[in-house]
A and B are shown apart, each in its own frame.
Chain A
Amino acid sequence: MAEKLLNPAESLARLSAGRHGKKGGKPGVEFTELHGFTITQIAFFPEQKAAAKAMLKRQFSVPQMPEPTSSCRTNGFLCLRPELGKLWLVSEKPILADLPASMNKYYPLDISASKLCLLVSGPKASSLINRQAAVDLSCPDGQFIATGMHHVGVHILKISEDRYLLMLPSSFAESLADGLFDIACQFGVQISKPAKGSIKGIEG
């Protein structure tokens, strides 16, 4: 049996749940830390692309491989493509132990503990993100963007115009979230209690 999350890194450890910052009206931003996702990296070489597509469909019911910097969602999986030759499969349950040996050629790698998933939502969510990241968030929903916040590499999944999933390096998560929180106070910010991550929960 693969490991389970015992003591995940926390991005919002310094902060108490509830409303912070600007008072009155609805909060412009809401932070929710999502725990419990398993992130499995699947890697393939250029000549394996067609086979990898077929593998995704067969093994994980992912109908098509997302384009680079894009994503797709299927029953139980969120499939992200951070690089040309790499896919991240986000799932609610560990999958590594159950993969058949034929998957070894895709070098499955558990990277669940290396990322902290922070859901940023609300009418000012994009304004907040653009105070830290130089990315054009008018991109289509489902775009999976590799960018930097305060010189730290982070990934952002655009779920919808007002919902974004930030995947922060776990060692930087507390510091980055602290910075985001300070900026978000001008919009009014709601800190929600950490939640068990679910693929359905991050749908737009």
Chain B
Amino acid sequence: MGAYRLNKGGRINRDKEVFFRFNGRRLKGFEGDTIASALLANNVRQVGRSFKYHRLRGVMSAGPEEGGALFNVNDGAMRIANVKGTMAELRDDMQVYAQNAFPSLAFDIGAVNGLFAPFLTAGFYYKTFMGPARTTAFWMFCEKFIRKAAGLGKASRLPDPDSYDIAYKFCDVLVVGAGPTGLLAAAELAEQGQKVVLVEQDFEVGGSLLSGGRTEEFTLRDTLLKRFEKAGGQVMLRATAFGLYDGLVTGVLERCSDHQSAPEPFSPREISHIIHPQHVVLATGACERGFAFGNNDRPGVMLAGALRSYACRYGVMAGRSAVIATCHDGTYDDAIMLASLGMEITLIDARNKPSRYAKKAQAAGINVLAGKVPVNVAGVKSVAALEIADIDEAGEIKENTTIIGCDVVGVSGGYSPVIHLPSHRGIKPRWEASINAFVAGKTPENIHIIGSADGIFDHQACLDNALQITQKIKGQKTGVKLRRRVPGGMRALFEVQIKGRKLKSFIDPQHDVTSEDVRQAHREGFVSVEHMKRYTTLGMATDQGRVGNVLGLAVMAQAQGLAVGTTGVTTFRPPYTPVSIGALAARERGRHWRPTRRTPMHHMHLAAGAVMTDAGAWKRAWYYPRGDEGIDEAYVREAATTRQNVAMVDVSTLGKIAVQGPDATEFLNRLYVNPFAKLAIGKARYGIMLRDDGMVLDDGTTWRLAEDNYFMTTTTAQAGPVMLFLEELLQRRWTDLRVHVTSVTDQWAGMAVAGPYAREVLAAEFPQLNWSDEAFPFMGVVEVTHRLGQHDITCRIARISFSGERAFEIYVPSDSGAQIWSALADRVNEAGGCLYGMEALGALRIEKGHVTAAELDGRVTLEDAGFGRMASKTKPFIGSVLRQRSSLQDERRPQLVGIFPKDRTKKFSAGAILCTPDAVSGFGEGWVTAVTHSPALGHWIGLGFVAGGAQAWQGKTIIVADPVRDNFVEAEIVSPHMFDAKGDRQHG
């Protein structure tokens, strides 16, 4: 008894044997097999354990609706969990493991859960772990045991060695599903000249034509495929449309290499295609569903159509003696085909009136019994027999039962159109009584649902429907709307119950949800289907309720005394089938996690031994260690050298914007809080701009190069937002202004030479310029053509200081940046100076109280940052109205301050909270934004914001509270300008 391979038939390649291992046991299959078909061919009936009760499970279907044959595939880092054996192609050396069984599939300790089944019903977690006295600690104690005992497959914890891609594709029509309807529609549309992409989740096109077992069906498949390909259509196999999104954007996962024993090096394992079609044709077919009866999850119970698929497509008989239970005519053809291949069959039909196919079935040797339903499966490890009972016209099931010996049970309770994708677009399913199934509601966009996906189950009608849709897309009239129907009619059957008998009847085998769970949810007051779904977990497993949803809703409707379909339906959400995280991340991981920006001097920093750090997307020199120096020694040396001698830093990362046009001055005057109307040519000005709400957006210097030509610099952090803001202002608000703005951040390399001897260093390199204070004052700007070797380089130089020292910023075209940097670095070194990085830059600016994005974090007003006096009183500017709001003018707002530890040997950290000594808790009175050990002052200092500002805290002690690091330091609040407050050094 048991499953076996037929000697002939099927679409497998019998010339190509494939060897694989299941739980270590070497087995043979053929090319064209799935894991499930190969296991059945080897008479492996038990393939895994269930999610909760650890019941033995077998193959239940032949498609993505599978709830039993889920496997771990591969070893180590390549291990993939929850692989559907019904979809995964067999390949040589494949390692397949049953899931959720320990120590073995046959002897599983977790099976003890079955004994506690009465306690593990719906709502177990809510009742056990929520409520008074059910503490988090209790849950955390239990969690690890529960997680070990329950679940599906185990993902590898090793880094994924595979690569994945995202690809964008554009087409006129995307046809999802390459069954007969989809194939015909695709071929017709392609022949009309449309650019058509046809996606099919299977590894062959054909859909139901592959499983029919008849030559004419294979011929039809081949003919349609040839027509499609000849017309230039593109077929994507192993490609599942997993989501349908706004604007018809469709996510399609293509599995590229899982079926290959030796994948091409460099080829991605999966590609996540983002397809932009003009029309989407959904020919996704329908999914056969079973119905609930006792022990309907035993290995050997499967969908009737799956029995035929295995026989006709894979040449595998799932058993020798079958009972096929149905409630409609569609199953008769399956049974007749199986009988013709040698299966001994008893067909029980829930309908009392014999089917029109009954005689034909009997002629094929099938024992047909009308008015019978399955009650309970006998057998533990697999089907041994089926207990059946009579059902009368009213639907009452008689208590007297009979038993039929069999080794496999086929079940068919009808077909559910696959309507997940329209549901993703928010199209609500509605109950169609004529087919006892949900169909998609009206589709407002260019989404066309055809064939059995639309509830049309007659083969010829499906083909007619395909032709209709091609006419519709062409803009032609489509003729009569085809009727949704099950040929021959059907009896609605969702569950078999006998009064007084408790049956373990599963409706969602993947999550071990029984019909009793649904009734219990109802008894406990769960009226909404959405609540019932979450309480019972019905439809929440990887099969997304394909088989179980309708059954669950029917059981719920019955419990509520309502008609099926009136209880509502849960929403299908993407993905339709599981999508690996790798395919979503694609290349954006590791060193490609995000793109990086390099300044033109990047490789020179590396050559100079710089330790680099990230500043947004930029790679910046952090510090340049000498000898054994660590960061602390290096930055202190660099900062001190800047104060005492001369040093140079790369400032290419600053945002740079060319502002040009006859109204450029007016534009800047409206933008900045301070006046720009009278800025002279050849001068720069520090400016601050606000957002509309009065908060500081950014600061920087703007240089006037000509009457109508400015060079604006922004902070590194806000370069992008400022550019966007300027474009928005010009394109939407101030369309009257004739101004061009162009980001030139990448055009110009920037470097700042700072220190008492900066002028001497630059004078040596640029002898053609007059560097005196009179000729080149603070905020002065010059443009000069500099001869370097054989080359003339345009340089823009401004006397600007971020460090507080006498300093100059030099900008050159970025393709000359490295050469100028190199030349100046030599001059700096000759003068006894050094290069300095971000850390020293930070120390210097903190000493001076100069703000960066750490302070200007979007919550800060002009007054908060100490710039209130810069705001013009004579002109409006962006934010000038809303900054006057009373809450923003409140003197108690946190304001920028300097922070000194009372004990100068103490250290504190950025991010700490500033509290009064008597209330070191909560949000405190302010916070610390930046901290450094000041080389100039010789102790730790900080910048931060505190309520009322420095004046309010004169003579008072504040606590710098850092509970995370358990550091509490007494401090005094001082002016943010902690070094050279008058600015003598930068002006001198």
Contacts and interface: CB of A to CB of B under 8 A. Distances in A.
Contacts of A111: 742, 744, 747
B738 A4 contact: no
B168 A2 contact: no
Contacts of B596: 172, 174-175
Interface stretch (B237-245, B756-764, B815-823): B815-823
Contacts of B709: 107
B588 A170 contact: no
Interface in A8-26: 8-9, 13, 21-23
Given A45-B738, A183-B165, A9 B792 contact: no
Given A5-B815, A179-B587, A131 B744 contact: no
B597 A175 contact: yes
Nearest to B737: A45
B264 A182 contact: no
Interface in B771-804: 785, 788, 791-794
A192 interface: no
Interface in B621-646: none
B660 interface: yes
Given A2-B792, A4-B792, A113-B747, A127 B592 contact: no
B794 A113 contact: no
B274 interface: yes
B793 A6 contact: yes
A109 B744 contact: yes
Given A172-B595, A175-B597, A182 B815 contact: no
Given A110-B747, A114-B744, A136-B170, A21 B266 contact: yes
A150 interface: yes
B794 to A, nearest CB: 5
Interface string B723-751: 00000000000000010101011111000
- B contacts with A: majority SS: mixed
Contacts of B792: 1-4
Contact of B167 (A115, A131, A178): A131
A170 B746 contact: yes
A59 B459 CA distance: 69
Chain B interface residue number, banded? 35 or more
Contacts of A130: 167-169
A171 B745 contact: yes
A27 interface: no
B479 interface: no
A113 B167 contact: no
B236 to A, nearest CB: 13
Given A6-B791, A131-B167, A169-B746, A186 B587 contact: no
B589 to A, nearest CB: 11
A138 interface: yes
A50 to B, nearest CB: 16
Main secondary structure of the interface of A (DSSP, over half): loop
Nearest to B727: A83
Contact of B814 (A1, A9, A134): A9
Contacts of A114: 744-747, 814
Interface string B817-846: 111000000000000000000000000000
A150 B594 CA distance: 7
A31 to B, nearest CB: 15
Contacts of A179: 587, 592, 595
B264 A22 contact: yes
B595 A175 contact: yes
B166 interface: yes
A177 to B, nearest CB: 10
Contacts of B660: 43, 107, 109
B595 A6 contact: no
B599 interface: yes
B747 A174 contact: no
Contact of B740 (A5, A107, A131, A152): A107
Interface string B540-555: 0000000000000000
Contacts of B91: none
Interface string A172-202: 1011101100110110000000000000000
A51 B331 CA distance: 77
Interface in A129-177: 130-131, 133-136, 138, 149-152, 169-172, 174-176
B816 A6 contact: yes
A8 B815 contact: yes
Nearest to B739: A45
Contacts of B531: none
A151 B591 CA distance: 15
B679 to A, nearest CB: 19
Given A110-B813, A179-B592, A6 B740 contact: no
Contacts of B168: 130-131, 133-135
A131 B271 CA distance: 9
A4 B747 CA distance: 13
A27 to B, nearest CB: 12
B744 A171 contact: no
A85 interface: yes
B944 interface: no
A112 interface: yes
A193 B814 CA distance: 21
B154 interface: no
Contact of A136 (B267, B276, B658, B814): B276
A150 B746 CA distance: 18
Given A2-B792, A3-B813, A138 B595 contact: no
A175 B276 contact: no
Contacts of B598: 9, 171, 174-175
Contacts of A178: 591-592
Contacts of B169: 130
B767 interface: no
Nearest to A108: B660
B938 interface: no
B266 A22 contact: yes
A182 B597 contact: no
A42 to B, nearest CB: 10
A13 B598 CA distance: 12
Q: Which of A6, A110, A136, A151 has the most CB of B within 10 A?
A: A6
A7 interface: yes
B291 to A, nearest CB: 45
B737 to A, nearest CB: 10
Contact of B268 (A107, A138, A174, A186): A186
Contacts of A9: 598, 600, 814-815
Contacts of A1: 785, 792
Nearest to B602: A174
Nearest to B793: A3
Contacts of B658: 109
Contacts of A32: none
Contact of A85 (B163, B264, B740, B748): B740
A152 B268 contact: no
The residue in A8, A111, A113, A149 that gathers the most chain B C-beta atoms within 10 A of its C-beta is A113
B265 interface: yes
A152 to B, nearest CB: 5
Given A9-B814, A136-B276, A185 B266 contact: yes
A86 interface: yes
Interface of A: 1-9, 13, 21-23, 41, 43, 45, 85-86, 107, 109-115, 127, 130-131, 133-136, 138, 149-152, 169-172, 174-176, 178-179, 182-183, 185-186
CB-CB nearest 9 A-B residue pairs: A114-B746, A114-B747, A136-B170, A171-B597, A185-B266, A113-B813, A107-B660, A134-B168, A113-B815
Given A6-B816, A9-B814, A43-B740, 13 more contacts: A3-B793, A43-B660, A110-B747, A131-B587, A134-B274, A150-B594, A170-B814, A171-B598, A175-B596, A178-B591, A179-B587, A179-B592, A179-B595
21 contacts: A3-B792, A3-B812, A4-B791, A6-B791, A21-B266, A22-B266, A107-B660, A110-B747, A113-B746, A114-B746, A131-B587, A135-B168, A150-B592, A169-B746, A170-B814, A171-B598, A172-B596, A172-B597, A175-B598, A182-B163, A186-B264
